[in-house]
Amino acid sequence: MVFLGPPGSGKGTQAKKLSQELGLMHISTGDILRDAVKNQTELGKKAKEYMDRGELVPDNLMIALIEEVMPKEGGFILDGFPRTVPQALALEEMLRGYKRDVDKVFLFDLSEEVVVERLSGRLTCSQCGAVYHRKYNPPKQEGVCDLCGGKLIQREDDKEEVVRRRYRVYKEQTSPLVEFYQKKNKLIRLDASQDIQEVNKRLLEVLRDGH
């Protein structure tokens, strides 16, 4: 399945939870890119300036990356990919090669103002990438990751000015995928303004009942 929605709409939070609950693989292109930047790989060097500006990394790099990490069997959640129509077309073709298809696309619906509030309070573990929120999902001990003890930081691209640009980029380049998947009858809209437990409950309900 694919998780689609603006930055800060809770895709990563839900993908981590659901992948554990259902034994699915969680593929976050944002996490993979941040690791690549940290380890200064070739991909990381190419991607960094786009990420810092809040722009999308070019399609050819992203498609090559997904080809590399895509599992050939077993269920998985794509979190942050596809983000453009060419990426969605490449994904279709790739899956067709394995005689597979995207099953469901969940749209995390959230307004720009809530996005800005969520991202300005987001804390990310500098070691393991776990995600918290100052108000809505605080760590047990301030500044310290519950899972690995790593230091919690604010992502460079979570500063308000970059967040607003990322939201604009979402509207312009990613939101056409809503219609793309709607036409294929794969889109399921979620009210992402509900709290974390509520959104998780709704996801499980749709997966159980099919609607």
Please tell me whether residue 195 binds ligand ADP under the rule CB under 6 A.
yes
166 binding partner (options ligand ADP, ligand AMP, none; Cβ < 5 to 8 Å by kind): ligand AMP
Q: What 3-state class would DSSP assign to 59?
A: helix
Q: Tell me the C-alpha distance between 28 and 46, whole Å.
A: 18
191 binds ligand ADP (CB under 6 A): no
Name the minimum Å distance from CB 80 to ligand AMP: 3
Burial 39-64 (b: 16+ CB within 10 A, else e): eeeebbeebbeebeebebbebebbbe
Reply yes or no on whether 53 is catalytic.
no
Q: How far is the CB of 68 from ligand ADP (least distance, A)?
A: 21
Tell me the residue length of the chain. Answer: 211
Please list the residues that pair with 120 across neighbouring strands: none
Nearer to ligand ADP, 22 or 60 (CB): 22
> What are the distances in angstroms from CA 15 to CA 9, 37, 40, 154?
12, 22, 26, 20
Nearest Cα neighbor of 2 from 56, 109, 78 is 78
Does the footprint of ligand AMP cover residue 129 (CB under 6 A)? no
Q: What is the DSSP letter of 40?
A: T
Q: Does 62 bind ligand AMP (CB under 6 A)?
A: yes
Instruction: State yes or no: residue 26 binds ligand ADP (CB under 6 A).
Output: no
Q: Tell which one of 1, 15, 18, 56 touches ligand AMP (CB under 6 A).
A: 56
Q: Is 155 noted as a catalytic residue in this protein? A: yes
116, 131, 178, 207: residue in contact with ligand ADP (rule CB under 6 A): 131
Query: Going by DSSP bridges, is the β-strand pair 105-109/187-191 parallel, antiparallel, or unpaired?
Result: parallel
| Dist. CA 186–CA 210, nearest whole Å | 11
Extract the tokens encoding 82: 């596809």
Region binding ligand ADP by CB under 6 A among candidate stretches 11-19, 49-57, 96-104, 167-175? 11-19
Query: Can you give the binding site for ligand AMP, defined by CB under 6 A?
Result: 7, 29-30, 33, 50-51, 54-57, 62, 80-81, 83, 87, 157, 166
Query: Can you give the binding site for ligand ADP, defined by CB under 6 A?
Result: 5, 7-13, 118, 121-122, 131-133, 136-137, 194-196, 199
Q: Looking at the annotation, which residues are catalytic?
A: 11, 83, 122, 155, 166
